[in-house]
Structure 1
Amino acid sequence: MTTQPIPKSHPPASAPTGRFARLWAAYTVNVAGDEFYTLAVPLIVYQVGGTAAAMSLVYACALLPQVFMGVWGGVLADRQDRVRLLRLCYLCSALTLLLAYAVFSATGVSVVGLATTAVLLGVMAPVAAASFDSSLPHFVPPDALARANAATEASRTACVVLGPAVAGFAVSHLAPEQTVLFNSLSFAVACLLLHRITSPARSAAPAVAGLAGQWRDLTTGLRYLVSGNTAVRAGVLTSTVVNFVFGAYEPMVVYRMRNGLGLGAGTVGLVFAVSGVVSVAVALLLSWKAPSRGYLAVMGMSVALQGLAVAGTGVLTSLAAVVAAQVAFATGTVLYTVYWRALRQTLVPGELLGRVAGTCRSIAYAGAFLGSAVSAVVLNRFLGVDTALLIAGLVSTALGVAVAGCVWSGSVSGKGAR
């Protein structure tokens, strides 16, 4: 198998990193806003008298648009200046929340209004994600892609850990509409951080205008995923399986710890906090010194590590063992995320990178959604939670070992080398 050459628009190894720092800062502020809103909205729904069903509905309204818009967001990213599109997404998100604040101030906060706001933000999020992923190679040297992705993953994980705490404090001390206004500021700051930063469009030929041209671009990207680089196809297949088998992982783990081990809610929260801190530490370590080759082999080993951790969670009975399993799972997740992004950015032709990143995001959300749906049907009806965790873990372990084995045998190239 031959690897695709790195597009010439990549900066040389001596390129300055000032623009990447601003891009990274904007991404961090945006993710902080996303994680804040993820918990703030259900809390607000509950605060205004919503039911558990209403809370689930609003969450679904935020999730489902990302399944369908990921692919199209990649098409949009590949047709124009990606940083400009990213800036536009941040601005539209800020304006959406500002409009919601005005409406809520005038008429009161409602579940319908929160659900509508969640849908609009959910439409823009995958477009922004594809734009960011595909613009990153413009701002760092090729051999620093793994470290750059690790830096962004460290930011994301830190926001996952801290965002809910900030959201809980804000909802308890601010009026619901003021919480929405507070969240709009994060998107506005992210937009301002990207002021006057641009990245060239990556299309090799002028884009064909209209829906017909966008549909052509979409099918071109999908064809690449089916018949393009072997290592990228292996990554897509691995991501699909992993997101499916781990679709309902978090609620199953919570159930296992509460019902199977008898742990209190505070202890469960502490377990997840410890794994979150470890995730940040691993990502920071990779951002300092991450190998720039062997991406697919690392992905395979990280999937196997996640599988062993999940299988262990289904059978282990001591608190210390469960904490160790969660730490292992968090470590494997960070490794996989960092190296999967770096692999795409290294091997995918520049003009297709937005579409590939967007499609992979859609696959991830669709796999998680389907896995959750299947779990809802089979759990406690055909399988117990312990058995489901064990099966999911063994499937993931076998898949990871198979991917790493293919790389080591030479049947699939996992090199990140240029």
Structure 2
Amino acid sequence: MTNQPIPMSRPPAAAPAGRFARLWTAYTVNVAGDEFYVLAVPLIVYQVGGTAAAMSLVYACALLPQVFMGVWGGVLADRQDRIRLLRLCYLCSALVLLLAYAVFSATHVSVGGLATMAVLLGFMAPVAAASFDSALPHFVPHHTLPRANAATEASRTACVVLGPAVAGFAVSHLAPEQAVLFNSVSFAVAYLLLHRITSPTVPVEPAHGGLASQWRDLTTGLRYLVTGDTAVRIGVLTSTVVNFVFGAYEPMVVYRMRHSLSLGADTVGLVFALSGVASVVVALLLSWKAPSRGYLVVMALSVTLQGLAVAGLGAFTSLGAVIAAQVAFATGTVLYTVYWRALRQTVVPGELLGRVAGTCRSIAYGGAFLGSSVSAVVLSRFLGVDTALLLAGLVSTTLGVTVVGHAWTRAVSGKGAP
């Protein structure tokens, strides 16, 4: 028997503004820590003498837990007090980083220790994201939800821009273990901001069915990905391939800029910050006026743009060319993300959308994990970073052109292309 959604009690007509302010502030501080961590860890691995392969390995360790928790994070959030679960994720993340700081201070910063830290933090991130997203509607009146979501998105994009620059500066001017301690502060502050706050509403009745029913729901979503709309299958295949070939993209680019181009950590942070600004601008333009047709074509063109940009990053040597290529890659990533979500929301039945979206997230992380793992094996031993970037760019460009051709054929044949 199909499980019915858990009935939720109605949110209060007007939740106290201070409660939302604290939730929003905790989210902003947490996202700032996440964005700092994303670039700081590869830089620290390089700084302690790690190779490109070691940088890819640590990055893969951060991705692996999210392959599994991307699916189950929402299930956990629906069966718990969401703010309590969110607070627990923040506390555990802070404790993991504090423990890493203590170990690194007593001994030395090691690649193995950084990889272990990345795995533990990787379990927390998707659960925290699901808890926040599902709790937010109960902290503001219904008519102010657009403004509340706009506030969280504004803070997220600002952190995406500033986080890499702060990470580059911190790694350049602090000892590696001090940078880890700096990161732990953001999670501790986020935890304290949510102290003594609980969800305004809780499930009226506990969830039923246990693990078996959850698994049945998950397999229904998987079955749709195999038998459902062709455009969705193309999107899943494209996402998997792109995430595989770009699985170790960020650590490879960091290594190339630091090792091959001899750029300082602060300059690396600045390059990523500039690409973050480009991402914000593109997202704002899309939110203002974006075409409502041709989703598959835009996705394919964005994959082609990403491929050309990555190939350029493997070939170019001047700082200006590297910045231009990184900005082009960021632009393609935003375009692909926006239109892939829009395509799923357009063609997937509403009752399956959550499971399909969650499964797609796990598949994407799975492709990225495999790509990072393969990179950890082949880099330096079989391929140089420059060659790996050129090959990844070629694969992505070829895939994009192929999907454009398929979408055009569908349109000409009258089948249409979402």
**TM norm structure 1:** 0.69
Structure 2 CA distance for partners of 1:145 and 1:36, relative to 1, 3 Å:
closer
2:208 maps to which residue?
A: 207
Measured after TM superposition, the shift of residue 117 of structure 1 is 3.5
CA contact (8 A) 2:46 2:255 kept: no
- Number of the residue aligned with 1:119: 119
In structure 2, the CA distance between the partners of 1:326 and 1:119, relative to structure 1 (3 Å rule), is closer
Is residue 2:401 matched to residue 1:398?
yes
Letter of the structure 1 residue corresponding to residue 329 of structure 2: F
Q: Which residue of 2 aligns with 1:362?
A: 362
Residue 22 of structure 1 deviates from its aligned partner by: 6.5
Matched pairs, number: 393
Is the aligned partner of 1:388 residue 2:386?
Answer: no
Would you say the 8 A contact 2:257–2:263 is kept in 1?
no
| Cα 1:408/1:264, change in 2 over 3 Å | farther
| CA distance in 2 between partners of 1:237 and 1:146 (Å) | 30
Which residue is 1:3 aligned to?
Answer: none
Tell me the amino acid that sits aligned with residue 33 of structure 1.
Answer: G
Q: Secondary structure at the match of 2:209?
A: coil
Paired position in structure 2 for 1:168 = 171
How far did residue 120 of structure 1 move?
A: 1.9
Inter-partner Cα distance in structure 1 for 2:69 and 2:225: 17
Alignment of 1:140-289 (within 5 A): 151=154, 154-155=157-158, 157-165=160-168, 167-168=170-171, 171-172=174-175, 176=177, 179-191=179-191, 195-197=197-199, 206-209=207-210, 211-228=211-228, 231-250=231-250, 263-266=261-264, 271-286=271-286, 289=288
Cα distance in 1 for partners of 2:394, 2:318 equals 20
> Quick check: 1:296 aligned with 2:333?
no
Pick closer, same or farther for the CA change 1:202–1:241 going to 2, 3 Å. Answer: farther
Partner of 2:174, secondary structure, is helix
Please say which of residues 109-118 and 273-282 is displaced more in the overlay.
109-118
In 2 relative to 1, CA 235–191 (structure 1 residues): closer, same or farther, beyond 3 Å? Answer: farther
Give how far 1:30 is off.
Answer: 1.8
Q: Matched residues, percent identical? A: 65
Query: 2:208 aligns to what SS in structure 1?
Result: coil
The CA distance in 2 between the partners of 1:154 and 1:286, in whole Å, is 14
Deviations 1:178-236 (A, max 9, x none): 65454333224334556445577799x94312x33333333233234334455544432
Q: Distance in 2 between matches of 1:386 and 1:128?
A: 33
Where structure 1 has 5 or more consecutive residues not aligned to the other structure, the ranges are 1-7
Give a deviation string over 1:261-298, Cα, whole Å, max 9, x none: x74425776654433332233334445x2548448344
User: Residues 351 and 235 of structure 1: is their aligned pair in 2 closer, same or farther, counting only changes over 3 Å?
Assistant: same
Q: 1:151 to 1:229 in 2, by over 3 A?
A: farther
Distance 1:57 1:74 in 2: 27
1:242 Cα deviation from its structure 2 partner: 1.5
**Residues 31 and 156, structure 2, Cα contact 8 Å, conserved in 1:** no
- Inter-CA distance 397–327: structure 2 relative to 1 (3 Å threshold): same
Contact 1:283-1:334 within 8 A present in 2 as well: yes
Counterpart code for 1:359: T
Q: State how 1:123-134 maps to structure 2 within 5 Å.
A: 123-132=123-132
Deviates more, 1:322-331 or 1:371-380: 371-380
Q: Which runs of 5+ in 2 are unaligned?
A: 1-6
Q: Distance in 2 between matches of 1:98 and 1:322?
A: 35
After TM superposition, give the deviation of residue 331 of structure 1 in Å.
1.0
TM-score by length of 2: 0.69
Q: Which amino acid aligns with 1:125?
A: A
Question: In 1, Cα distance between the equivalents of 2:238 and 2:160?
Answer: 22
Superposition RMSD in Å: 5.0
Other-structure match for 1:335: 335
Q: Which stretch of structure 1 is more off in the superposition, 335-344 or 131-140? A: 131-140
Give 1:256 shift.
7.2
Instruction: Provide Cα deviations, 1:65-104, integer angstroms capped at 9, x if missing partner.
Output: 2233323334434555656544442233234445556677
Specify the alignment match of 1:5 in structure 2. Answer: none
